[in-house]
Amino acid sequence: MQDVSYTPTCPSSETMSEVSTLIEQDPSNAQKKRTRESSASTKKSSSKKAKKTGGKKVSSMLKKLIETLLTDVISDVAGENLEEASENETSNFLQLYDKIDSAESKNEDASQGLIYSYFDFGEAVFKRYKELKLEHGKDRSQALVKSEVRKAIPEAKCSDEALRKRMERSEKVYKLFNSIGKEKIAQIKTTPPGFILNLTKDEKDYVMAKVLKQKLR
C-alpha cells in the first residue's frame, strides 16, 4: 500500500494565490488570508534586511574585508602611503576633491590611495564641521560646511548629486578608519575600493564592531 502520511509544508506563493481564488466568496476567510499574507510579507522583509545588515548572514566579501582588517601587516609601502597622506592633508576642499579624481583615474593597484583620498576629504569636512559647531550648533554647522564645500568646488566640475554622494562616501570612510585606525587602510590590497565605498551604514557599523571587539581582547 502506498504511504499516504502527510508532512505539513509551507505553501508556495502560487499555492496561496490559488487558495485565495477558491475562498474569495467567504469574506471572513479572505480577511484571514490577507492578515496571514501581511504577516508573511513583514517577516520576509525583515529577513532580507537582516541578511543585508549582517544580522543573520554576512556576505563573503564582507567577511574577507573584516579578516583583512584584523590581520596586522607591517610593510614599507604602508609607511610610505601614510606619510604621503599626511603631507597632502589640508582643509582645501577643492584640492582634496581633485585628489580623489586623480586616484580614481588610476588602476586597481592604487586602491589604497583612493581610500586614503576619501579619508582625507572626509577628515577635512569633519574638522571644519567641528569648528563651526562651537559657534553655530549641530544643524547650522552641517548646512554651513556643505555650503562651503559646494562653494569651493565648481558646479562645472561636479553636480550637486555627485558632490552629495562623494561627501557621503568620504564621511563613511573617515568614520570607519578613524575608529579602527587609519593605518588599517594600508592592509587593503585585494578588496575592491568600490566595495568599501558602497558599504551601507549597517555594514560599516558591523565592520567597526568586529574590528574594535578584536582590539579589546
Average pLDDT score over residue span 52-77: 73
Closest CA to 166 of 106, 109, 98, 81: 98
If you average pLDDT over residues 150-157, what whole number do you get?
94
Whether 169 is covered by a domain: the verdict is yes
Give CA–CA dist 12/94, Å, rounded.
55
Query: Which pLDDT band, with edges at 50, 70 and 90, does 182 fall under?
Result: very high
Domain assignment present for residue 101? The answer is yes
Question: Residue 190: which pLDDT band, with cuts at 50, 70 and 90?
Answer: confident
3-state secondary structure of 66: helix
The DSSP output letter for 55 is S
How far out from the chain centre does Cα 99 lie? 22
Residue 140 lies in a domain: yes
Q: Is the pTM of this model over 0.85?
A: no
Q: Is residue 40 part of a domain?
A: no
Residue 25 inside a domain? The answer is no
Q: Is the pLDDT of residue 38 over 80?
A: no
CB 166 within 8 A of CB 100: yes
| Alpha-carbon distances, residue 107 vs 104, 127, 171, 197 (angstroms) | 8, 30, 23, 16
* For the chain, the helix, strand and coil percentages under 3-state DSSP, each to the nearest 5: 75, 0, 25
Residue 24 predicted with pLDDT over 80? no
Count how many Cα atoms sit within 13 Å of the Cα of residue 164 in the half-sphere of its side chain: 4
The tens digit of pLDDT for each residue in 97-150 reads 999 999 988 765 568 899 999 999 999 999 999 999 999 999 999 999 999 999
The predicted model gives 79-85 an average pLDDT of: 45
Q: What is the pLDDT of residue 109?
A: 53
Number of domains the chain contains: 1
Share of the chain above pLDDT 90, in %: 49
**Domain containing residue 192:** 60-215
Q: Is residue 48 part of a domain?
A: no
More confident residue, 127 or 83: 127
Query: For 195-203, what is the mean pLDDT?
Result: 94
Would 14 be classed as within a structural domain? no
pLDDT for position 199: 95
Phi, psi of 80 (to 5 degrees): -65, -40
Q: 2 lies in a domain?
A: no
Residue at grid coordinates 589604497: 112
Contact (CB, 8 A) for 141 and 134: no
Count helices and strands in the chain by DSSP H and E runs? 9, 0
pLDDT of residue 124: 96
